[in-house]
């Protein structure tokens, strides 16, 4: 990445205090832009257009990471809230950015936008070939509409916005709250607690058969910054590792790293979510040279080490 690109630029990162955002801001600081501004949630409600106008005043680049997001259970409990919050934040971000003469907007979409049954590996051209997996469709469709808006603004106004589709992220500083966390932090927390309590078994939602692809959060941040510098086209771009693992093998790997020696039981009465997820990552490599660098087992070990040293483990009520 080039410091010359970022020089004299004011960059606004929505969601910059979140999981992905905090990693991206750390990397962005090293590129020495003129200013980095992270709108705080209690001062700037991005669901409100006027708040967005205030947040983006004088910005050159807006990187939109903010979102209401969680795992399968969270998606099942709050589908309307997830739809409303995410579509309002995104639509108002783009409208306000255009009104403020922002030079470029980077929209972070979601893998949940893909159809439930998408040929493996997921290619960007298949994005519209079916309905998303039901448990996260409201969230996925709200984020998907931002691709439509991005392309429409480019077509009618010549507005420079790009749309990236990161796969499931993981890494240090992830969300370990059991009510809203994704699968990797949820499993880490379960296995660590089971080991500490000397439990004989750990129960996992679903059959264990679905597969997922995971991208280390630091790699995702690098990919977003590379795309911000080098990519200026209307087509969506996958960001992933190209690595696929079943939930069963994921659980086994985490249990081994943690040192849990009991039995793993799968509760088949609980939903599995999308059957398979693995991305075609060729466009990101071709367009802006992105390739994930962190080995999956190394990334898991880093995440587990961070959790064991964190206040979330020392004081579980903080999670």
Annotated binding site for substrate: 190, 205, 212, 272
Residue pointed to by tokens 């979330």: 312
CA-based nearest residue to 113, from 85, 81, 140: 140
CA angle 48, 28, 290 (to 5 degrees): 100
243: exposed, middle or buried (C-beta count within 10 Å: 0-12, 13-18, 19+)? middle
Q: Known catalytic residue: 307?
A: no
Residue ranges at the known binding site: 15-21, 143, 166-169, 182, 190, 205, 212, 272
- Residue 289 backbone class (left: φ over 0; alpha: ψ -120 to 50; beta: rest): left
Cβ neighbors of 40 (< 8 A, separation 6 or more) are 17
Torsion of CA 235, 11, 226, 124, to 10 degrees: -20
Residue ranges at the known binding site for NADP(+): 15-21, 143, 166-169, 182
Residue by residue, DSSP assigns 8-75 as T-EEEEETTTSHHHHHHHHHHHHT--SEEE---TTT--TTSHHHHHHHHTT-SEEEE-------HHHH
E strand segments, the chain: 10-14, 35-37, 61-64, 104-108, 161-166, 168-170, 201-205, 211-212, 214-216, 237-239, 245-246, 263-267
Catalytic residue (one of 114, 139, 153, 170): 139
Give catalytic residues, as residue numbers: 139
């Amino acid at each position: 990445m080039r410091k010359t690109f970022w020089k004299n630029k004011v960059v606004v990162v929505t969601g910059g205090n979140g999981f992905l955002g905090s990693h991206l801001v750390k990397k962005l600081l090293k590129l020495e832009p003129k200013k980095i501004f992270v709108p705080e949630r209690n001062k700037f409600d991005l669901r409100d257009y006027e708040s967005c106008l205030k947040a983006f005043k004088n910005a050159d680049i807006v990187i939109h990471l903010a979102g209401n997001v969680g795992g399968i259970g969270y998606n099942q409990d709050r589908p309307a809230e997830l739809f409303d919050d995410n579509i309002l934040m995104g639509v108002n971000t783009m409208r306000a950015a255009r009104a403020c003469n922002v030079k470029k907007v980077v929209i972070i979409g979601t893998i949940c936008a893909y159809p439930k049954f998408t040929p493996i590996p997921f290619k960007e051209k298949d994005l519209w070939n079916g309905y998303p997996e039901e448990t996260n469709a409201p969230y996925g469709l709200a984020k998907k509409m931002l691709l439509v808006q991005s392309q429409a603004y480019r077509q009618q106004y010549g507005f420079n916005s790009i749309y990236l589709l990161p796969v499931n992220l993981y890494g240090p500083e992830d969300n370990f709250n059991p009510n809203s966390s994704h699968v990797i932090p949820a499993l880490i927390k379960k296995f660590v607690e089971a080991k500490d309590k000397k439990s004989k078994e750990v129960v996992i939602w679903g059959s264990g058969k679905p597969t997922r692809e995971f991208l280390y959060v630091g790699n995702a941040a690098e990919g977003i910054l590379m795309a911000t510098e080098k990519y200026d086209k209307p087509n969506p771009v996958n960001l992933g590792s190209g690595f696929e693992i079943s939930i069963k093998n994921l659980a086994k790997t985490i249990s081994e790293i943690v040192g849990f020696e009991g039995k793993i039981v799968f509760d088949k009465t609980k939903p599995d979510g999308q059957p398979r997820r693995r991305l075609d990552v060729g466009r990101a490599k071709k367009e802006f040279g992105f390739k994930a660098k962190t080995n999956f087992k190394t990334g898991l070990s880093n995440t587990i080490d961070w959790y064991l040293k964190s206040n979330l483990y020392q004081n579980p009520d903080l999670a």
